Structures are given as C-alpha cells and as structure tokens.
Amino acid sequence: MPDAKLHNAQMLAAVFHGAERITIERAPIPEVARGEVLLRIVRTALCGSDFKLWHKGAEFTAGHEIFGVVEMPDHPMHGRRCVVYIPTHCGQCSACRAGATQSCLEVSSLIGWNRPGGYAEFVPVPENCLLPVPDDIEDSLAPLLLDTIGTSAHAVRFVRPLVPPQSGAPVLVTGAGPVGLGVVLALRSMGYADINVSDPNAERIAIARAFGAKAHPTGDTSRRFKLVVECSGAHAARNLGIEVVLPHGALVLVGENAAPWMIEEGRVFRRKDFYMIRTFYFPVGDFEENVELLRRHKDEYRRLVDLEFDLASLPENFARFASGKLIKPVLAFE
C-alpha cells in the first residue's frame, strides 16, 4: 500500500487542454490498482510525440519518459529508482513470450497516453513496467534510457542483421532530434563508420558531427545509402528514403506522423528490391544493453539535456520545445 499520509492527498499535475494551452492544477493522487505501485516522479523528459496532445488536448495526464522512486512502504521495490516502460504488457501472449513486450497482443495501453503519465508529481505504474536504474546513472539522464536510447538502439539492432556494420555500407539518418541523435550514437557504438545525417537545423547537425557523423544536405538525392534510418516522421523524408536506399538495402521508419502517408508506386518504388521496416519503442530485454550504451556515451547524452525546469514553468518551456529551441528538456521534481 502507498504511504498512509498520501491517502486522499493531492498533487500537482499538468492539464493539456488543446489549442496549445497547458495549466498546472491540483488533482487527487491516483489510486493504485492491484499489481501496480505508486511512483514519486523525479524527472520526466519532454517528447515531440506529445505535440499532438498539446494541439488537441489529452484525456489523461501526458508525459511518458518517466523516472522516479517507488513510494510503497510495504512493497519490496519501495525506494528503488526506476524508469517507466511505456507499453503495458501481459507477459503471457506469443509476442511477450518471444520478447516483443512493446508489441503485446493482449494489452494495448501506453502510459502517458491511454492512462496517467509523468507531467505530475505521482503516477501509478504496473509492476512489470518498472525498470530499475543503477545508482551510477544520474537523475537527469535516466529518462533518456527510454525514447532517446531505447527507441533508437532498438531500430539499429533490428536492422543490423540485414545491413551489418562490417559491410562498411553508408548510412543516412534523416532527422537530428533526440531519437535521430540517439541513432547516431547507437550506430557508432555498434560499429558503423560511414554515418551521415540530414536536418535543416544547423545546431543539431553540429551536434551530430560532434557525435561522429557527417552532414548530408537535406533533400539531396545525389548519393545512395545501404541503410536509411528515418527519424523525423516527415513524409518528404520518408519518400526521400525510398528514393535513396540502395537495392537490397533497408529503410527503417522510426519517426511518427499521425497524418496519412500516401506512397506513389512509381518507378523508384516498383523497380528495386529493398526492405522497408517499421520499428516501435524497444523490448524489455534490451534494457541492460541500453544502460551500457548510456554509460559509454554519458558525455554525449548530457549534451542533449539542454534545460531542467520545474512543473510551474512547463507551459512556457513546452512552447519553447515545440518551437525547436530546445533538444531534450527535462521536467525536474525536487
């Protein structure tokens, strides 16, 4: 059970009203169901996928890159530092048994989307969505273990058998946001050498170059690549990936876009053997490797966390983030 003094207590939480309006309001601390724990949130990283909630409004508290401390005195995990695995999952279906916990066939719910998330002081979390964080990982970097590292590294691991690093094949990453920059670090860590990045934001390209990538002009089709990792979600970048991927190469779609995407089955698409792959988040089994990836590149990942701020200033800082002025700001609860 949660601490008795939290029963019927209130917390502060962000409310996404839509039309780019966020308010900070008092709300009851959520009830904890059987098989769940209460997490006191320490850090929540902002994510571009929340822009749609900023525009349209959210039924539940938003925020899905969550790190906190278990607040359940009678629970064996009490006091443990944990990040929150976003997809709830049954652990028993064929997908879960095969290790694809992010693609559970029985449970289709995402923390911060279909149930309360991390732009608040507390959040209830299913026990199997708790991923303990080692003490050598600092609070501000812990949320990066989820989208920035987990999503990006999973995409590279998934496609690695098709385009192995030892082939020396050229790679293009489209989009140098947090996930795209995470892909650059994952590629480098896994042995890829010829890494190229395109993005219209010169500051983000500068970071990609500092991470070991080369700049590639946005929209340029003069060069072909064995592997294209599309991280922007822009339809133009997806179409460009189809055009520039080499025969027997792979285009991996990582970025998200809620608008319909129409593929024109023209000559470029029709007359080439290539793999077009969609990856989503990461399996629980990747977590230890993700921790090691963070340990190897701590200084680089620190460059991505360019602001920490309190809950009261979330509305203004979310707007700054949406305008492209920040890379990976982190909401900090002290």
Cα 22 from chain centroid? 22
Confidence tier at 258 by pLDDT (50, 70, 90): confident
| Confidence at residue 243, expressed as pLDDT on a 0 to 100 scale | 97
pTM of the model: 0.94
**Residue 7, pLDDT above cutoff 80:** no
Q: What tens digit of pLDDT does each residue of 31-86 get?
A: 999 999 999 999 999 999 999 999 999 999 999 999 999 999 999 999 999 999 99
Residue range 308-324: average pLDDT? 96
Domains present along the chain, CATH in parentheses? 4-140+305-332 (3.90.180.10), 153-278 (3.40.50.720)
Binning pLDDT at 50, 70 and 90, where does residue 239 land? very high
Check whether 2 has a pLDDT greater than 70: no
> What would the pLDDT profile of 137-189 be if each residue is shown by its tens digit?
999 999 999 999 999 999 999 999 999 999 999 999 999 999 999 999 999 99
Which tens digits make up the pLDDT trace of 118-143? 999 999 999 999 999 999 999 999 99
pLDDT of amino acid 275: 97
